[in-house]
Amino acid sequence: GKSVKGISHFLSTEEKPIGTRSVETHINNLRRKVSGNSKESIIEFVEESNKYQVVRNYYSSLYCKRGLKKP
């Protein structure tokens, strides 16, 4: 449910910023690969794949790092 800007901000680090254009490109590539027209189709594909737990663990670790990081 995040916007492209929100995704970009979430994935960026001080060492490696991620631009909105990069996020848009990845979303479009994923849409093409899963033959879907929405972010929901990408989410559905990941949930049905055997990679769901890997993706979930990765994003959980990002949330933890964000929560523990000093402002």
Cβ contact 19:29 at 8 Å: no
Compute the distance between CA of residue 61 and CA of residue 65 in angstroms, rounded to an integer.
6
Compute the distance between CA of residue 57 and CA of residue 14 in angstroms, rounded to an integer.
22
Q: Which of 19, 3, 9, 11 is nearest to 58 (CA)?
A: 11
| HSE-CB for 13 with a 13 A CA cutoff | 7
pLDDT tens track for 9-43:
888 878 888 999 999 998 888 888 888 888 788 88
Report, in this order, helix, strand and coil percent for the chain, each rounded to 5: 70, 0, 30
Global confidence as pTM: 0.65
pLDDT tens track for 33-71:
888 888 788 888 888 888 788 878 887 887 787 776 544
